[in-house]
Amino acid sequence: MAGNTSVAAQQQPRRQFSLVRCVATCLLALIVLVGLAVLIAWLVICPKKLVYTLENGSVQNFNLTNNHLNATFDFVLRAFNRNRRISVYYDYIESTVTYEDQTLAFNTVDPFFQPHRNVSRIKPKLVALNLAMSPSTSKDLMIEKTSKEIQVDVHFKARIRLK
């Protein structure tokens, strides 16, 4: 019997099946496979940035009396999708004109689809109708109007989906 115990003591104890180790290994393998699939898809599609340019802007029917503004702002935004395999769905585009941190006009553009390698021109018309302004902002705007050049900030915010 003494000989049997010495042989058993010299053998390594057998590792038991660990459920936690198995789950961790499976999760790690799944993460690696998903990451590899995303990398391959990214390399095949090779997406490029969308290019936006404000081509034109004008102010029509400008009237500022008693610190109330009436004006129509017309802009042409050029959207260029230079991707070969990606199309763009525009769910909405919000356009805003601000002057000295005061919003002058706001409008949304209807949803549209832009195919790959396409140039789309978006022409939002923003209307300020009897907009009350602070006296100091109104005065600054009138000074700029006399110089025939009004500097406003134009912001576009869009929700898009890529296909």
Q: Are residues 41 and 56 in the same domain?
A: no
Is there a domain that residue 10 lies in? no
Whether the CB-CB separation of 64 and 139 falls below 8 Å is answered with: no
pLDDT number for residue 30 = 96
Q: Are residues 60 and 101 in the same domain?
A: yes
pLDDT number for residue 43 = 82
Q: Are residues 38 and 64 in the same domain?
A: no
Q: Where residue 101 sits, what CATH number does that domain have?
A: 2.60.40.10
The DSSP annotation for 3-57 comes to: HHHHHHHHSPPPPPP-HHHHHHHHHHHHHHHHHHHHHHHHHHH-----EEEEEEE
Q: Are residues 97 and 139 in the same domain?
A: yes
Is there a domain that residue 4 lies in? no
- CA torsion 47→48→54→55, rounded to 10°? -110
Q: Residue 34: what residue type?
A: V
Q: Residue 68: what residue type?
A: H
Q: Are residues 27 and 54 in the same domain?
A: no
Q: Are residues 38 and 118 in the same domain?
A: no
Q: Nearest Cα to 152, choosing from 107, 96, 109?
A: 96
- Please count the other Cβ atoms lying within 10 Å of the Cβ belonging to residue 39: 10
Q: Residue 134: what residue type?
A: S
Q: Are residues 141 and 115 in the same domain?
A: yes
Q: Nearest Cα to 156, choosing from 80, 91, 95?
A: 95
Q: Are residues 61 and 119 in the same domain?
A: yes
Q: Are residues 74 and 22 in the same domain?
A: no
Q: Are residues 95 and 150 in the same domain?
A: yes
Is there a domain that residue 1 lies in? no
96, HSE (Cβ side, Cα atoms, 13 Å)? 11
Dig out the tokens for 20 from the structure.
């936690």
- CA torsion 45→48→50→53, rounded to 10°? -150
Give every residue of the chain whose pLDDT is below 50, as ranges: none
Is there a domain that residue 39 lies in? yes
Range of the domain at 115: 48-160
Domain count, the chain: 2
- CA torsion 28→31→34→37, rounded to 10°? -70
Is there a domain that residue 101 lies in? yes
Q: What is this structure's pTM?
A: 0.71
Reported as a single tens digit per residue, the pLDDT across 125-145 is 999 999 999 999 999 999 998
Is there a domain that residue 126 lies in? yes
